[in-house]
A and B are shown apart, each in its own frame.
Chain A
Amino acid sequence: MHISNYRRRVEAVFLLFIIFLIFCSARLLFIQLFRSNYLSGIAQKQHNLFIELEPRRGTIYDARLKPQAVNMSADSLYACPNEIPDKDKEALINKIAPILNLDRAYLKDRLYRKKSFIWLARKINPQQSQAIRILKLKGLGFIKESKRSYPNGYLASHIFGFAGLDNKGLDGLEFYYDSYLKGQPGWALFLRDARQKRLDLWEKTVLPKDGYDLVLTIDEVIQYIAERELDKALKSFNAKAASIVVMNPHTGAILALANRPTFDLNESASATTKQLRNQAICDLFEPGSVFKIVALSAALEEQKVSEEDKFFCENGAYRVATHLLHDHRPHGWLTFREVIEQSSNIGTAKVAQLLGINTVYKYIKLFGFGVKLGIDLPGETAGITREPRLWSKVSIATIPIGHEVGVTTLQLASAISVVANGGELMKPYLVSEIRDKYEQTIKVFAPVLIRRVISGETAARVRKVLTGVVENGTGKSAKVSGFGSGGKTGTAQKLEPNGTYSHSKFIASFIGFAPAQEPAIVIAVCFDEPRPYYFGGVVAAPVFKNVAKDTLSYLKAMQPLNAKLLELNEANRNN
């Protein structure tokens, strides 16, 4: 009896275990068959951490490989509002608001949200980061991000442009070459420890592809010289705005490009739209007498006029259809050379009448006016040149002297390049090379010839006439001692809103080349509404002189160094 009872109990327990085992097996089978995906997903989330790996944005170098836009590591401050008790939030705001220079209301709005993560300040400076770290505040944390920094502040700001908070190019070269600069992000699946902290052990990873570096044609020193002189003149003549382009006429490489007003690249968020505007390529204006180089070149190329042909300049007043044309000073008989030297509107109009509408228009187009030149910057404008069928009876007299057309400073620089390089229109460009982080060349931008505009012989004759402008004419202030120079002054009346020409608002400009023999640089300078003096020969020509003199001295000094660098490069290639 005792034994049989014992046996029954054992069998009951055994049965219970068997049932339990069957239940467990069934449950396991159910989990394995129907819930495995869901549960393994949860487990993976607990054990692994997916992180996007940010690529390094490419660096921008100047022509001498000095970094102009670099990436710096910066702390971004975040908060976990749910982890901070409400009673502590007010004290926290009091502590961090003065360090971050942030509005208390802004911080309050963010910290009182029911969220587990919120940004408080992105990419703060190291001092601010250190000051907050010392406070050891609960619920705050830092994440390292890369920040675009520009060591030269405002220098060449309109060329470089800037990148936004997410390192996306927003303006200038940063925008134009964003696809090269930004790189490709990677990702990694990291392990997490029991405290959910990230461990640098990855299960799977795709490494990020760093962005390419840009090597520019801009030279930091020449850019500085150009901006320094522009600033000086802007201050002296109280101009509203100004722009300058320095260019290598033989290649079309831009050596410097600047505008005023400007902005600090590191503070781009606070810049106004006026400051952000790249006037040298975006804004068009009536050029005035600098445009006479088109008529000059056309007349000599078409062999309609020679430099010594004489024209009667009507003693300062000449009626063309309904329009009375004036010279700034009355002239009698002048040779064509003197017409250009003294910038006679009447003489130029008479030459243009000899050439005819179609020839003048043909050369305007050949010189690259009225079309985009294709510079590698966003926002370039084509300018305005009307077709001959839309010209009025007065147009043949006014267009050759720079009225009824809209041009940019860049177009003027390209036009004078044609004269300086022997008659070829080159495409202006800013980037000479794209390379990877190992300094291997990815792409090289060679000079691009757009078209031949005039013959080499005509270009030489035009250069000689323009040298006369600086030697004997209106551009005496542009004389570069020791090198010689040539160029053309321009003083254009601005249009009033009612469509009439203003008698108090002018655009002063100068376009020129230096040295006079074998030009190495061309410069176009424009000032908007200078006061009290407004003549191109007074306002813009001295800027040309100072920039040309310093730039040529600098280039001369750099010549032996360049030769050595070339030798080294050749030796490296041979090895």
Chain B
Amino acid sequence: MRLSRFLALTFFITSFSLLYVWQQTEIFRLAYIDQSNFTTFQDLLDKNTVLRYNMGKNTSLVRIASRLDESLAFQMPQGYHLVRLTGAKDNPKLAKQAPQRESLAFRLFGIKRQAEAKTINP
């Protein structure tokens, strides 16, 4: 009787100890898994922040303007860069001069004069 009680007690204490150890190892195992998940989550969050930042940066007016300047070499024309095309109908002075300028050769070969170009504020 005594022996069986001793054995039962030993069994109970051993089981309890094993359970405690198992629980502890499980906590640590889960902590490791959680840690690795958290690292992944943090990396994804960081990537998301970088993505948002880059989106904001690329859609900003500063960026668009500098890209335009760099890649297209586009320069907004100043007033004196503009050339006004004046038709003979619009300009009476030019209308008077027009018939005199058309030579026989021009009329024979049907070559029409091009629109006149005149710079403003040269």
Binds A, one of B59-67, B94-102, B105-113: B59-67
Are A224 and B53 also in contact (CB < 8 A) when A73-B46, A199-B31, A200-B35 are? no
Question: Are B34 and A228 in contact, CB atoms less than 8 angstroms apart?
Answer: no
Are A200 and B53 also in contact (CB < 8 A) when A155-B60, A155-B62, A228-B65 are? no
Among candidates B28, B34, B45, B56, residue contacting A151 with C-beta atoms closer than 8 Å: B56
CA distance A221 to B62 in the complex (A): 10
Question: Are B38 and A200 in contact, CB atoms less than 8 angstroms apart?
Answer: yes
Question: Shortest Cβ distance from A201 into chain B, in angstroms?
Answer: 5
**A520-535 toward B: CB 8 Å interface, digit per residue (1/0)?**
0000000000000000
Asked if B81 is at the interface of the complex by the 8 Å CB criterion, the answer is: no
Beta-carbon contacts under 8 Å, A327-371 to B:
none
Question: Are B49 and A151 in contact, CB atoms less than 8 angstroms apart?
Answer: no
Chain A residue with minimal CB distance to B58? A151
Among candidates B34, B50, B62, residue contacting A72 with C-beta atoms closer than 8 Å: B50
Chain A residue with minimal CB distance to B64? A224
Chain A residue with minimal CB distance to B38? A200
Question: Shortest Cβ distance from B65 into chain A, in angstroms?
Answer: 7
Asked if A193 is at the interface of the complex by the 8 Å CB criterion, the answer is: yes
Question: Are A199 and B50 in contact, CB atoms less than 8 angstroms apart?
Answer: no
Chain B residue with minimal CB distance to A198? B35
Asked if B32 is at the interface of the complex by the 8 Å CB criterion, the answer is: yes
Asked if A154 is at the interface of the complex by the 8 Å CB criterion, the answer is: yes
Beta-carbon contacts under 8 Å, A189-231 to B:
191, 193, 199-201, 220-221, 224, 228
Among candidates A67, A73, A201, A228, residue contacting B56 with C-beta atoms closer than 8 Å: A67
CA distance A29 to B26 in the complex (A): 35
Most buried by B among A200, A221, A228: A200
Question: Are A72 and B31 in contact, CB atoms less than 8 angstroms apart?
Answer: no
Question: Shortest Cβ distance from A158 into chain B, in angstroms?
Answer: 15
Question: Shortest Cβ distance from A541 into chain B, in angstroms?
Answer: 15
A71 cross-chain contacts in B, Cβ below 8 A? 49
Asked if B57 is at the interface of the complex by the 8 Å CB criterion, the answer is: yes
Asked if B27 is at the interface of the complex by the 8 Å CB criterion, the answer is: yes
A153 cross-chain contacts in B, Cβ below 8 A? 62
CA distance A152 to B58 in the complex (A): 9
CA distance A152 to B34 in the complex (A): 37
Question: Are A221 and B61 in contact, CB atoms less than 8 angstroms apart?
Answer: yes
Asked if A126 is at the interface of the complex by the 8 Å CB criterion, the answer is: yes
Question: Are B53 and A220 in contact, CB atoms less than 8 angstroms apart?
Answer: no
CA distance A126 to B50 in the complex (A): 10
A220 cross-chain contacts in B, Cβ below 8 A? 60-61
Question: Are B31 and A201 in contact, CB atoms less than 8 angstroms apart?
Answer: yes
B28 cross-chain contacts in A, Cβ below 8 A? 193, 199, 201
Question: Are A152 and B62 in contact, CB atoms less than 8 angstroms apart?
Answer: yes
Question: Are B27 and A201 in contact, CB atoms less than 8 angstroms apart?
Answer: yes
| Residue positions of B touching A, CB distance < 8 A | 27-28, 31-32, 34-35, 38, 42, 45-46, 49-50, 52-53, 56-57, 60-63, 65
Question: Would you give 22 A-B contacts (Cβ < 8 Å), ordered by A?
Answer: A66-B56, A67-B52, A70-B52, A71-B49, A72-B49, A72-B50, A73-B42, A144-B46, A149-B53, A151-B53, A151-B57, A152-B57, A152-B60, A152-B62, A154-B62, A191-B31, A193-B28, A200-B34, A201-B28, A221-B61, A224-B65, A228-B65
- A-B contacts besides A72-B49, A153-B62, A200-B31, 13 pairs, CB < 8 Å: A70-B49, A71-B49, A72-B50, A73-B42, A149-B53, A151-B56, A154-B62, A193-B28, A200-B38, A201-B27, A221-B61, A224-B62, A228-B65
Closest 4 pairs (CB-CB, A-B): A73-B46, A151-B57, A224-B61, A151-B56
